[in-house]
Amino acid sequence: MSPAIATLEQHLLAALDPAPQETRRLFHGRGRCWPGLEQITVDWLDGVLLVALFREPPEGQLAELEAMLMALAERPQWSGQAILLQHRYLPDSPGQWLWGAPCQQREVVEDGLKYLLDLGVRQNNGLFLDMRYGRRWVREQAAGKRVLNLFAYTCGFSVAAIAGGAEQVVNLDMAKSALSRGRDNHRLNGHDASRVAYLGHELFKSWGKVRKYGPYDLIIIDPPTFQRGSFVLTQDYAKILRRLPELLTEGGTVLACVNDPGIGPQFLIEGMAEQAPGLAFVERLENPPEFADADPEGGLKALVFRQG
Protein backbone atom coordinates (compact mmCIF):
# COMPACT_ATOMS: atom_id res chain seq x y z
CA MET A 1 0.00 0.00 0.00
CA SER A 2 1.37 3.43 -0.93
CA PRO A 3 2.15 5.90 1.88
CA ALA A 4 -0.68 8.20 0.74
CA ILE A 5 -3.38 5.50 0.89
CA ALA A 6 -1.94 4.20 4.18
CA THR A 7 -2.27 7.74 5.59
CA LEU A 8 -5.87 7.92 4.44
CA GLU A 9 -6.59 4.53 5.98
CA GLN A 10 -5.27 5.65 9.37
CA HIS A 11 -7.40 8.81 9.24
CA LEU A 12 -10.53 6.81 8.48
CA LEU A 13 -9.86 4.19 11.15
CA ALA A 14 -9.50 6.94 13.75
CA ALA A 15 -12.54 8.90 12.48
CA LEU A 16 -14.77 5.79 12.57
CA ASP A 17 -13.80 4.70 16.08
CA PRO A 18 -16.53 5.49 16.90
CA ALA A 19 -18.35 6.88 13.85
CA PRO A 20 -19.84 10.39 14.20
CA GLN A 21 -23.41 10.63 15.51
CA GLU A 22 -24.26 13.08 12.71
CA THR A 23 -23.15 13.64 9.12
CA ARG A 24 -19.54 14.91 8.87
CA ARG A 25 -16.56 15.33 6.55
CA LEU A 26 -14.03 12.75 7.74
CA PHE A 27 -11.14 13.60 5.41
CA HIS A 28 -10.58 16.80 3.43
CA GLY A 29 -7.73 16.19 1.02
CA ARG A 30 -8.72 19.27 -0.96
CA GLY A 31 -7.36 21.38 1.88
CA ARG A 32 -3.91 20.38 0.56
CA CYS A 33 -2.61 19.32 3.97
CA TRP A 34 -1.88 15.74 2.88
CA PRO A 35 0.47 15.27 -0.11
CA GLY A 36 -0.77 12.76 -2.64
CA LEU A 37 -4.37 12.96 -1.39
CA GLU A 38 -5.36 16.42 -2.67
CA GLN A 39 -8.04 14.96 -4.94
CA ILE A 40 -9.87 12.92 -2.26
CA THR A 41 -12.62 13.78 0.23
CA VAL A 42 -14.47 11.36 2.49
CA ASP A 43 -17.86 12.08 4.10
CA TRP A 44 -19.85 10.14 6.67
CA LEU A 45 -23.51 10.37 5.68
CA ASP A 46 -25.14 8.69 8.68
CA GLY A 47 -24.05 5.18 7.69
CA VAL A 48 -22.93 5.74 4.10
CA LEU A 49 -19.23 6.45 3.49
CA LEU A 50 -18.98 8.75 0.45
CA VAL A 51 -15.50 8.89 -1.07
CA ALA A 52 -15.19 11.54 -3.80
CA LEU A 53 -12.36 11.80 -6.35
CA PHE A 54 -12.02 15.29 -7.84
CA ARG A 55 -9.17 14.35 -10.20
CA GLU A 56 -8.24 11.11 -11.88
CA PRO A 57 -5.95 9.29 -9.43
CA PRO A 58 -2.34 8.53 -10.36
CA GLU A 59 -1.72 5.13 -11.94
CA GLY A 60 -2.38 2.32 -9.49
CA GLN A 61 -3.91 4.49 -6.77
CA LEU A 62 -7.55 3.78 -7.65
CA ALA A 63 -7.12 0.03 -7.24
CA GLU A 64 -5.30 0.61 -3.93
CA LEU A 65 -8.04 2.93 -2.73
CA GLU A 66 -10.79 0.46 -3.60
CA ALA A 67 -8.96 -2.40 -1.89
CA MET A 68 -8.38 -0.31 1.24
CA LEU A 69 -12.08 0.69 1.41
CA MET A 70 -13.27 -2.89 0.97
CA ALA A 71 -10.92 -3.99 3.77
CA LEU A 72 -12.15 -1.09 5.93
CA ALA A 73 -15.67 -2.55 5.83
CA GLU A 74 -14.33 -5.72 7.47
CA ARG A 75 -12.66 -3.87 10.35
CA PRO A 76 -14.18 -3.88 13.87
CA GLN A 77 -14.40 -0.05 13.73
CA TRP A 78 -16.78 -0.20 10.76
CA SER A 79 -20.47 0.38 11.57
CA GLY A 80 -21.71 1.63 8.19
CA GLN A 81 -24.19 0.21 5.72
CA ALA A 82 -22.58 1.16 2.38
CA ILE A 83 -19.53 2.67 0.66
CA LEU A 84 -19.97 4.90 -2.39
CA LEU A 85 -17.06 6.00 -4.60
CA GLN A 86 -17.87 9.06 -6.71
CA HIS A 87 -15.77 9.99 -9.74
CA ARG A 88 -16.25 13.77 -9.77
CA TYR A 89 -13.71 14.23 -12.56
CA LEU A 90 -15.83 12.27 -15.06
CA PRO A 91 -18.90 13.60 -16.93
CA ASP A 92 -22.03 13.42 -14.74
CA SER A 93 -19.88 12.48 -11.70
CA PRO A 94 -20.87 8.78 -11.71
CA GLY A 95 -21.15 6.92 -8.42
CA GLN A 96 -19.83 3.39 -7.86
CA TRP A 97 -21.22 1.38 -4.94
CA LEU A 98 -18.24 -0.58 -3.61
CA TRP A 99 -19.85 -2.23 -0.61
CA GLY A 100 -23.34 -2.67 0.81
CA ALA A 101 -26.74 -2.05 -0.72
CA PRO A 102 -27.05 1.00 -3.03
CA CYS A 103 -29.40 3.68 -1.69
CA GLN A 104 -30.14 6.64 -3.92
CA GLN A 105 -31.64 8.71 -1.10
CA ARG A 106 -30.42 9.11 2.45
CA GLU A 107 -31.81 11.07 5.38
CA VAL A 108 -29.00 12.64 7.40
CA VAL A 109 -28.82 14.80 10.51
CA GLU A 110 -26.76 17.95 11.14
CA ASP A 111 -27.11 19.90 14.39
CA GLY A 112 -30.31 17.97 15.06
CA LEU A 113 -31.92 18.99 11.76
CA LYS A 114 -32.82 16.50 9.02
CA TYR A 115 -31.89 16.71 5.34
CA LEU A 116 -32.65 14.36 2.46
CA LEU A 117 -29.66 13.66 0.20
CA ASP A 118 -29.33 12.12 -3.27
CA LEU A 119 -26.47 9.63 -3.54
CA GLY A 120 -24.75 8.47 -6.70
CA VAL A 121 -27.17 10.16 -9.10
CA ARG A 122 -25.86 13.74 -9.49
CA GLN A 123 -22.72 15.77 -8.86
CA ASN A 124 -23.80 17.29 -5.53
CA ASN A 125 -25.82 15.36 -2.98
CA GLY A 126 -27.87 18.25 -1.54
CA LEU A 127 -25.89 19.51 1.47
CA PHE A 128 -22.52 21.30 1.47
CA LEU A 129 -20.92 20.16 4.72
CA ASP A 130 -18.38 22.99 4.90
CA MET A 131 -21.28 25.40 5.54
CA ARG A 132 -22.22 23.73 8.84
CA TYR A 133 -21.12 26.70 10.95
CA GLY A 134 -22.88 29.07 8.54
CA ARG A 135 -26.19 27.24 8.97
CA ARG A 136 -25.65 27.22 12.73
CA TRP A 137 -25.00 30.98 12.70
CA VAL A 138 -28.20 31.61 10.71
CA ARG A 139 -30.18 29.50 13.17
CA GLU A 140 -28.80 31.54 16.05
CA GLN A 141 -29.60 34.87 14.33
CA ALA A 142 -33.00 34.10 12.84
CA ALA A 143 -35.54 34.55 15.64
CA GLY A 144 -38.40 36.81 14.51
CA LYS A 145 -36.62 37.83 11.31
CA ARG A 146 -37.61 37.96 7.65
CA VAL A 147 -34.92 36.11 5.70
CA LEU A 148 -33.97 36.09 2.00
CA ASN A 149 -31.98 33.04 0.88
CA LEU A 150 -30.41 33.64 -2.55
CA PHE A 151 -29.08 30.67 -4.56
CA ALA A 152 -31.04 28.60 -2.04
CA TYR A 153 -30.28 25.19 -3.62
CA THR A 154 -32.01 22.63 -1.34
CA CYS A 155 -32.82 25.29 1.30
CA GLY A 156 -30.34 24.27 4.01
CA PHE A 157 -30.13 27.85 5.29
CA SER A 158 -33.92 28.08 5.22
CA VAL A 159 -34.30 24.94 7.33
CA ALA A 160 -31.83 26.40 9.85
CA ALA A 161 -33.61 29.78 9.85
CA ILE A 162 -37.07 28.34 10.50
CA ALA A 163 -35.61 26.09 13.21
CA GLY A 164 -34.23 29.27 14.77
CA GLY A 165 -37.63 30.98 14.80
CA ALA A 166 -37.56 33.05 11.60
CA GLU A 167 -40.86 34.77 10.83
CA GLN A 168 -40.54 34.16 7.07
CA VAL A 169 -37.94 32.77 4.66
CA VAL A 170 -37.94 33.45 0.91
CA ASN A 171 -35.83 30.95 -1.09
CA LEU A 172 -34.75 31.85 -4.61
CA ASP A 173 -33.07 29.42 -7.00
CA MET A 174 -33.47 28.87 -10.73
CA ALA A 175 -33.37 25.07 -10.19
CA LYS A 176 -36.95 24.16 -9.34
CA SER A 177 -35.93 20.56 -8.57
CA ALA A 178 -33.57 21.81 -5.85
CA LEU A 179 -36.35 23.93 -4.33
CA SER A 180 -38.62 20.88 -4.39
CA ARG A 181 -36.03 19.04 -2.30
CA GLY A 182 -36.02 22.10 -0.03
CA ARG A 183 -39.73 21.54 0.57
CA ASP A 184 -38.92 17.93 1.46
CA ASN A 185 -36.33 19.13 3.97
CA HIS A 186 -38.79 21.48 5.66
CA ARG A 187 -41.42 18.70 5.81
CA LEU A 188 -38.86 16.33 7.34
CA ASN A 189 -38.38 18.81 10.18
CA GLY A 190 -42.10 19.45 10.71
CA HIS A 191 -41.86 23.14 9.78
CA ASP A 192 -44.81 25.45 9.17
CA ALA A 193 -45.02 25.62 5.35
CA SER A 194 -46.80 29.00 5.45
CA ARG A 195 -43.60 30.64 6.70
CA VAL A 196 -41.54 29.52 3.67
CA ALA A 197 -41.78 30.87 0.09
CA TYR A 198 -40.06 29.49 -3.01
CA LEU A 199 -39.13 31.50 -6.10
CA GLY A 200 -37.95 29.26 -8.95
CA HIS A 201 -36.48 32.09 -11.00
CA GLU A 202 -33.22 33.47 -12.36
CA LEU A 203 -32.23 36.18 -9.91
CA PHE A 204 -31.34 39.00 -12.28
CA LYS A 205 -34.78 38.80 -13.92
CA SER A 206 -36.64 38.65 -10.61
CA TRP A 207 -35.76 41.68 -8.49
CA GLY A 208 -39.41 42.79 -8.50
CA LYS A 209 -40.57 39.47 -7.03
CA VAL A 210 -37.77 39.55 -4.46
CA ARG A 211 -38.64 43.12 -3.38
CA LYS A 212 -42.33 42.22 -3.00
CA TYR A 213 -41.56 39.95 -0.03
CA GLY A 214 -39.16 42.41 1.62
CA PRO A 215 -37.67 44.27 3.28
CA TYR A 216 -35.51 41.63 4.92
CA ASP A 217 -33.70 41.53 8.24
CA LEU A 218 -31.22 38.90 7.01
CA ILE A 219 -30.02 38.14 3.48
CA ILE A 220 -27.91 35.09 2.63
CA ILE A 221 -25.87 35.03 -0.59
CA ASP A 222 -24.17 31.70 -1.31
CA PRO A 223 -23.72 31.52 -5.09
CA PRO A 224 -21.89 29.01 -7.27
CA THR A 225 -18.62 30.22 -8.75
CA PHE A 226 -20.06 29.62 -12.21
CA GLN A 227 -23.52 28.77 -13.49
CA ARG A 228 -23.69 28.50 -17.26
CA GLY A 229 -25.73 31.29 -18.80
CA SER A 230 -26.78 32.88 -15.52
CA PHE A 231 -23.94 33.64 -13.07
CA VAL A 232 -20.21 34.26 -13.17
CA LEU A 233 -19.01 35.14 -9.67
CA THR A 234 -16.29 37.63 -10.60
CA GLN A 235 -18.64 39.51 -12.94
CA ASP A 236 -22.06 39.21 -11.34
CA TYR A 237 -21.59 39.32 -7.55
CA ALA A 238 -21.33 43.12 -7.68
CA LYS A 239 -24.81 43.30 -9.25
CA ILE A 240 -26.22 41.65 -6.13
CA LEU A 241 -24.25 43.74 -3.64
CA ARG A 242 -25.49 47.04 -5.07
CA ARG A 243 -29.12 45.90 -4.58
CA LEU A 244 -28.70 45.10 -0.89
CA PRO A 245 -29.44 48.55 0.62
CA GLU A 246 -32.94 48.64 -0.93
CA LEU A 247 -33.73 45.07 0.18
CA LEU A 248 -32.55 45.35 3.81
CA THR A 249 -34.19 46.81 6.90
CA GLU A 250 -32.22 49.38 8.89
CA GLY A 251 -29.72 47.35 10.89
CA GLY A 252 -30.24 44.39 8.56
CA THR A 253 -27.54 41.75 8.19
CA VAL A 254 -25.97 40.00 5.20
CA LEU A 255 -24.11 36.68 5.13
CA ALA A 256 -22.11 36.77 1.88
CA CYS A 257 -20.18 33.69 0.81
CA VAL A 258 -17.51 32.66 -1.70
CA ASN A 259 -16.15 29.13 -2.09
CA ASP A 260 -13.56 29.56 -4.83
CA PRO A 261 -10.02 28.73 -3.57
CA GLY A 262 -8.60 31.43 -5.85
CA ILE A 263 -10.74 34.25 -4.45
CA GLY A 264 -9.97 35.62 -0.98
CA PRO A 265 -12.21 37.49 1.48
CA GLN A 266 -11.03 40.89 0.21
CA PHE A 267 -13.11 40.30 -2.93
CA LEU A 268 -16.25 40.60 -0.81
CA ILE A 269 -14.98 43.26 1.60
CA GLU A 270 -13.82 45.56 -1.19
CA GLY A 271 -16.85 44.75 -3.35
CA MET A 272 -19.24 45.67 -0.56
CA ALA A 273 -17.38 48.90 0.20
CA GLU A 274 -17.70 49.89 -3.45
CA GLN A 275 -21.25 48.73 -4.22
CA ALA A 276 -22.99 49.16 -0.83
CA PRO A 277 -20.85 51.41 1.38
CA GLY A 278 -23.60 51.61 4.01
CA LEU A 279 -22.93 47.99 4.96
CA ALA A 280 -20.02 47.51 7.34
CA PHE A 281 -17.93 44.34 7.58
CA VAL A 282 -18.51 42.62 10.94
CA GLU A 283 -16.71 39.24 10.89
CA ARG A 284 -15.67 36.19 8.92
CA LEU A 285 -17.22 32.99 10.26
CA GLU A 286 -14.85 30.19 11.14
CA ASN A 287 -14.93 27.03 9.05
CA PRO A 288 -15.47 23.65 10.73
CA PRO A 289 -12.15 22.16 11.90
CA GLU A 290 -12.51 19.15 9.61
CA PHE A 291 -12.11 21.55 6.65
CA ALA A 292 -8.57 22.64 7.50
CA ASP A 293 -6.79 24.27 4.55
CA ALA A 294 -3.08 24.84 3.97
CA ASP A 295 -4.06 28.33 2.78
CA PRO A 296 -6.62 30.04 5.07
CA GLU A 297 -7.71 32.11 2.08
CA GLY A 298 -8.39 28.94 0.09
CA GLY A 299 -11.37 27.52 1.99
CA LEU A 300 -14.92 28.75 2.32
CA LYS A 301 -15.33 32.47 2.94
CA ALA A 302 -18.53 33.33 4.87
CA LEU A 303 -18.56 37.04 5.77
CA VAL A 304 -21.06 39.01 7.85
CA PHE A 305 -21.99 42.61 7.01
CA ARG A 306 -24.50 44.95 8.73
CA GLN A 307 -26.39 47.97 7.42
CA GLY A 308 -26.55 51.19 9.42
Q: What is the pLDDT of residues 257-273, one digit of tens each?
A: 999 999 999 999 999 99
Encode pLDDT of 18-68 as tens digits: 999 999 999 999 999 999 999 999 999 999 999 999 999 999 999 999 999
State residue 227's pLDDT score.
66
**pLDDT attached to residue 100:** 97
- pTM here? 0.96
The string of pLDDT tens digits covering residues 147-183 is: 999 999 999 999 999 999 999 999 999 999 999 999 9
Q: At what angle do helices 3-15 and 61-72 cross, to 10 degrees?
A: 30
Please report which confidence band the pLDDT of residue 229 belongs to, taking 50, 70 and 90 as the band edges.
low
The model's confidence at residue 296, banded by pLDDT at 50, 70 and 90, is: confident
What is the average pLDDT score of the chain? 96
